[in-house]
Structure formats: structure tokens, C-alpha cells
Structure 1
Amino acid sequence: MGEIDFSKVGLKMKQLRNERGITQEQVARDLECTVPFVSNVENNRAKLNLRVLLYYSKLCNVSVDTILDAGRDLPPLSEKEQQQNDELLSIFRRFSVDEKEKIIKTLRIWQED
């Protein structure tokens, strides 16, 4: 899978937040931290922790992978591909654990064809 460049992850979090018109002040208030800490995380001057990563994922309605993929050397997804991924994840979350297992098995079989 390779290393993740967290400087790109922070910038992706900043981009997602800005696209949604959310301020660093709101993020700091929600996370009960300071605005400088939020700025430092977004600009790779402070270490990203799981709590912050999960918060941004929920705040921006995207998967954690969407945020982390910014730090991987992967070709960028088109807007349509990203919308499809987000829609699939949204639908997938509604299934029970057993249903999810069946879907995963089916997709793995289908992927092998």
C-alpha cells in the first residue's frame, strides 16, 4: 500500500472543509481544541490523530480513505468516481453486518471475473 504523505492529507482536509464553507473556528469548537491546532494539523505542523481524522470524515461526509488517499501516490479520482464511491459507502453503511459480508463476498467473486 505504501507510505502516506500526511502533508497532503492535511491539505485535503483543509480543502474539504473550505469546500463546505466550514471555518477553522467551528472545527476547533467541535473538537474542543484551539484554532492554531486545527491550522497546524491542516498544514502538517502538528501530528494528525485518529479523532481528528474521523471528525473530518464525518464533517465532510466522506470516507477516511477519501482523505488518506490524498497522501498516497494514486491517480486522482474524477468527480464522478468520487461521488460514486461516496454513494456506495453511504448505501453500504445501511446494511447489517451479515448483509455486508455477503456483499463483500459477492464483490470479490465479481472482481475475479
Structure 2
Amino acid sequence: MKALDEHDLSRMEAACRRTRGQLDLLERQMRERAKRMTLTIRSKSGLLRRCRLPWTLEDERLFRAQVDALAFERRGELNGLREQLAREETAIAGLRARRSPGNRTHTLNTKGWHHATLHD
């Protein structure tokens, strides 16, 4: 493998980790906000003050609905990060495939398809 490929691969992997981290952070923030919203709604209903019931199925349904609503509001940002992550993972896989010994690629020339062996 060429030194440039090693550098490119490590740079691309770092960018992919950053993108994945941003996506994870956004999803975690939405879950935490949905939890706070659920607890607020629950406390306003009086259930939280009266008997401190554990998390119920209704709470879970409300929480899931809140998460869905927040995801819908931020769908543009979520989709953008997911698409970016997919592109980065595809590029990394392509670079890894290029550097594999004995890897063969199919290229199209003016006379049709032919096989070419990649050399490092």
C-alpha cells in the first residue's frame, strides 16, 4: 500500500468517526429531550405527584411519539448526517478494496469490459 493511501484511509476513518459521533450525539439529545418532555407531561397529569408510578407502557408510547416528533423536526439534519456517513463508509470500503493484494477490478474500455489487476 502506498503511504498516501494509508494517510487517506486514516483521514477518512477519522472523518467517519466524527460524523458518526455527530449523529449519535444528535440522537442522544433527542432521546433525552423526549424523556424530559414525557416526564413533564406525566407530572402535569398528576400521576407523578400522587404515587410515583414506575415508567409505564403509556409513558413508553408517549416517549416514542416524542422521539418520532423530534426526529421529524430534525429530519433534514439527520438525513444529511446519515447520507454523509454512508458516503464516507463507501469511500473507506473502496479504498480498502483497492489496497487488497491481488484485487481485481472491472473497467470499461472502448472495446468492452476487461479485468485489470491492481498493483500496490
- Give the shorter-chain TM-score range: under 0.3
Computing the radius of gyration from Cα coordinates, the structure with the larger value is: 2
Normalized per residue, the structure richer in helix is 2
Normalized per residue, the structure richer in strand is 2
Normalised to the residue count of structure 1, the TM-score between the two structures is 0.23
Normalised to the residue count of structure 2, the TM-score between the two structures is 0.23
